[in-house]
Amino acid sequence: MPTNTSTKSMKKRPAPSRGNAQAKKQRLENMDETTSEKVAGKKRSKPITSTVDYDKDSSSEDDEEAEEEDEGFEEEDLEQEQSSQAVKDPNASRESHKAQRALHEQRKAAKPHSALLSQAKQAWTLARQKNLSKGDRTKHIRALMDIVRGQVKDIVFKHDASRIIQTIVKYGSAKDREEVAKELKGKYQDLAQSKYSKFLITKLIRFCPTQRTAMIQEFQGHVRRLLLHREASRVLADTFELYANAYERSLLLRDFYGKEASLFSMTTGSEADKEHSKKGLKGLLDGAEKERRKRVMTAVKDNLVNIFNNPDKGAVSHAIVHRVLWEYLCAVNDIDDETEREKHRREMFENCQDVLAEMVHTKDGSRAVREFIAQGTAKDRKHIVKAMKPHIERMCQDDDAQLVLFTALDVIDDTKLTSKSLVADVATSASSLYTSPQGRRALIYLVQPRTRRHFTPAQIALLGETDETRSKTSKKDNKVRSDEIRKAASEPLLAWIADQGPDIVRDPGGSLVAGEIMLYAEGDKKAATESILKALAQPYPSSDPTSPHLISLSHASRLYKLLLQGGHYSKQARSIERLASFDPLEFARCFIDVVGKEIITSMALEEGAFVVAALCETVISSGEKATELKAQLSGWFDQDVRKRLSADEGDHKGRSLLIDQVVALG
């Protein structure tokens, strides 16, 4: 009989079925790994040690869109099974296919809430369309909400139903979101641990601020365990870093302070209690008796060590852990007994020294690592440098991580170690660093640390936090240390400019870096000077409108003027700050030799008036040392050129200034 044959045929198909189930599982895992990496519109800092490019991953905001693939998995599996069967048995009857589909429908109907899900999917397909007017979407969302109302808690842990609810939270009204959040009350912890529903709880935390505190309170007592959970860890990290306010963060941190703090420090919700709770560990320890203080500190240390002993779980890289570590170190610094203070710091350092590189990308993590560097012994600092070395380039391009690098350069007395392990790697990576603001700061710090021209007062203040400690733990004079760092960095940086000068000068940020290196670096600058001047010695004006002459670029023009002047203008002194490390007359001499008469006079008549005026001023101010150069320039600016300069004096900026300098040439 056909039916018996088809049934028998279905029983002989274990391999394709297993294969398709495995493929489905793999597709789901791959999709969830990518969609869980970041939240749309919000960018989380990533660990310096991470090899994943979070910026390019798809966001959890689009998880419901990825369901397009999931929705058809079961039907696709059926088609694949049929296709595989057709290959194995080309004479399979049509009745066999009908029996397979009937069996599939029976299995599907036997699942809990199958009718509800089927109806919800139809409404969801309409509601999630991207090109919908606000009115149409509201209508579809309202219809979808009517279908799932009262059943959200029952269906939300299914992968397809979870994305249906996500769509309601994403596009629905505040009332819809509140209703969903209230229906799920008591299940928030389970949602965070679910492979699919973790995206929903993240959206609820983001879009339902009125319910956020209640959600976080359900996590209390389980925060440390959830941080070590594969799925829930990311939920807590996003909540702490992106959405929670100061009070809500304090609720998450409380679990680290031990059971005593959780039982006896519960706030009533009043404003006064909230303000006290925001003080964190410091507020808890203020006024506490010695024994209680000891118990709390021990609990914090044990909980942190538990995190550090499980680095494979990923919690080490989260800002919530870094905040607890920084609070602990601050509490240690408040201990009166120096021996006990050093003991606590030593124990914590030994437990986390191997994972310090995973902490530098957050504000609190950076502060904690910088504290270890400032307070540590020479051996401790060497270990930290060794841990950072593989990640130097990425640290240079991160706002918080680069502060750790700068502190190491400021504090470590062994400049041979820092020159070999840190400075050399930064200078080697100059080609990729100068294109970003963070990378430029890293390069400039090697030759001119903490300059207000490139570092904000806030950044300088952060770097100054370790100065007091440095004065106690470091023996070398600060100026001597910075001079040694500058000397070690000068040769590779000057070689980089000599090799890539034209490209560097043409880039706005690169011209800033080149100016600081040329002014403050030590050593032979002849090759670097010739490199950036050869870039200027091109026919003027440029015949290619897409590639203008360097003198037409404002940032390049400022660079050449800066170097011809021999330093930056000081508003306090109202004059140019001359430097022993740079000779403007030598640069002017090379400028005349490399650029030549034709291009210099052409620039003077057009857009290069300020630069040529600076050239003349340097030659004139050098006196007898530049007698030949002065005569040479005077000959180039003959009566014909001077008449042309005076004829259209007001047409170009700097023309009057240039005329005065040309007259002074004689």
DSSP state letters, 171-222 = HS-HHHHHHHHHHTTT-HHHHHHSTTTHHHHHHHHHH-HHHHHHHHHHHTT-
87: number of Cβ within 10 Å = 10
Cβ atoms 49, 357 nearer than 8 A? yes
- Which tokens hold the place of 581? 């490390």
Q: What is the DSSP string of 318-355?
A: SHHHHHHHHHHHHHHHT-S-HHHHHHHHHHHHHHHGGG
Write down the pLDDT at residue 10.
Answer: 41
Cβ atoms 156, 197 nearer than 8 A? yes
- Domain positions in the chain: 360-528, 536-665
Cβ atoms 352, 325 nearer than 8 A? yes
What is the C-alpha separation between 199 and 579, in angstroms, rounded? 58
Write down the pLDDT at residue 269.
Answer: 59
pTM (two decimals): 0.83
Polymer length of the chain = 666
3-class SS at 523? coil
Q: How far is CA 313 from CA 227, 244, 597, in A?
A: 8, 23, 67
The ranges of the chain with pLDDT < 70 are: 1-43, 51-93, 104-106, 108-112, 264-270, 272-273, 648-652
Cβ neighbors of 361 (< 8 A, separation 6 or more) are 45, 46, 47, 48, 317, 398, 400, 401
Write down the pLDDT at residue 533.
Answer: 95
3-class SS at 310? coil
578: number of Cβ within 10 Å = 11
What is the C-alpha separation between 447 and 444, in angstroms, rounded? 6
Write down the pLDDT at residue 573.
Answer: 85
Query: Cα(first)–Cα(last) distance of the chain, in Å?
Result: 116
